[in-house]
Chains A and B, each alone.
Chain A
């Protein structure tokens, strides 16, 4: 098929129609998996929609997952603009959580808002530090970040379990977790807000970190598209040789992009520790880091796309837990597989139907114009 002139393709075809077609394909394949596992895909979809929208607690859970996916999605996207595959969001979030906890517990004598700001900074610094070593090795030695960041996920997991078992464990309890932070430091939750309006809900993990996620999205948009740093980063990602010729250092930009990426992933620790658990629990990043890859690719690495993509995964996660509750044959791993399918169709196979769809719309518009 002859390629169409890119400039003639309307923005909504390439940024809306094509991703939606890819998503539909991915969901059809996922339905097939549910069928293979011995359950009814239609019933699963009904449960997903009920679980994520059907009642207020469910919807709050959906937004809580959305918060996490915005952080990890933005993290992957920033590095990707520099052509770096940071698949270490999982480990960076884990270490970021350590930063939140250490700051909050050691500066508890300060006024609460200052503790919060310092804790958020702690998350960013720890997450960025964990991304720095792979970034440095990529920049100076060409060690591929995909391998080094994966290794740093494993190393972070070992290190955190070691710390939780031998160093910072709450010795009065059995499980591998720390003591709880003082109650005043906990982020106000959706339950507290709803209470102000006289709505009683039992429990909600949704908290003001959601606003932080929106703030982070604006920050990323500004950084990547409106600053010199962002421009240089994208230049290195687009064409390293040309960037060098223009006097842009790939070395510096690789490290900056990875550190910002790691810092954003670290923010997941803010939501989980100040907002939900109020202590470090072993394995709290629970795969959110990996889901961020799917979120970013689906959202075409732009904050405006990442928000709906994160929301969609929020629906899948929350609705998915409703499904696993009602369908004994479906476990949460089924939704990990669904993520894989979505990455495949909206990332690797994004060109599958793109030429056909684009030429279809371009031809239609031409006919309209000439009529």
Chain B
């Protein structure tokens, strides 16, 4: 029973930890499928976490905080578009600028407004999202296996966890089953052909970036108004990059990207469990080395044991309409 409980709690934390990665990977798919590199997922996630926490603190409602976070992230996406789509600046440079800007700005403003070394005030229960208990979770707990799955694994998550996993089929449907998705993918593969067909390449890329901004805002709000009850300095901790690696590993496809995100989430959950545990033959692994495991895994996955990843053809290139 003890063992079963361990497994259940490990899966439970995997689902929770993967959530921001899933949102970020889905956001990345929209931007990159349209031909715009998005390394700025990291910065946008951090911005969303900051804005959601501050907004919710002042307005007293986490949904309003989330709304502000969405506005902030869409604005940053538009800035990225302005620099790299309209002004044809280097997309990677634009992303690096946004990431560094946001690391500095969020911490500096948190310190200036709240004076606690880059922390925002702790949110009370009304100001943050709480766990959602699915119906009958308590009464079904005692049923073997099914009860454990339903009550201990599926129930009791934050709303974002459910939204994240629902977003995957939705993104799949939009990208692969709608005419919008067809245009989106075409813009990323062969923009001049799309242009010939009378579709505005720039407008398509801006639309993709707007959706990207909305999705990534959920990831940030999950960090600061659900899992934690405040924002702290650099709380995104590289998750934007991990998600991007998951997306590349998943070949810019929602389903495979989800699998990669879950793998990262599982590694992270396992990493937390391994801290301070004596392993047979190896002994206790120092905590600093255990914490490095997700980052090492990212590099290993990117090195690709499943063949070279093929990016959308026109990625990273600004579209220049002929004069």
Contact = CB atoms under 8 A, between A and B. Distances in A.
Interface of A: 33, 36-39, 85, 87, 133-134, 137, 141-144, 146-148, 150-152, 154-155, 158-159, 161-162, 165-166, 290, 293-294, 297, 328-331, 333-341, 343-344, 347-352
Nearest to B285: A162
Max count, chain A CB within 10 A of own CB: residue among B83, B96, B117, B298 = B96
Nearest to A158: B292
Interface residues of B, number: 52
Overall SS of chain B's interface: helix
A146 B39 contact: yes
A141 B300 CA distance: 11
Given A137-B303, A154-B295, A348 B93 contact: yes
Contact of B238 (A137, A150, A341): A150
B89 A33 contact: no
B309 interface: yes
B139 to A, nearest CB: 44
A147 B39 CA distance: 8
Contacts of A166: 286
A144 B288 contact: no
Contacts of A330: 108, 112
A142 B308 contact: yes
B289 A87 contact: no
21 contacts: A37-B112, A38-B112, A38-B113, A85-B92, A141-B302, A143-B299, A143-B303, A158-B295, A165-B288, A290-B100, A333-B111, A335-B104, A340-B97, A341-B97, A343-B101, A344-B83, A344-B94, A349-B83, A349-B87, A349-B89, A351-B88
B93 A347 contact: yes
A294 to B, nearest CB: 8
A339 B296 contact: no
A348 B94 contact: yes
Overall SS of chain A's interface: helix
Interface of B: 39, 79, 82-84, 87-94, 96-105, 107-109, 111-113, 115, 117-118, 233, 238, 241, 244-245, 248, 286, 288-289, 291-292, 295-296, 298-299, 302-304, 308-309
A347 B295 contact: no
B100 A336 contact: yes
A69 to B, nearest CB: 14
Contacts of B304: 141-143
A294 B308 CA distance: 32
Contacts of B99: 340
Contacts of A141: 302-304, 308
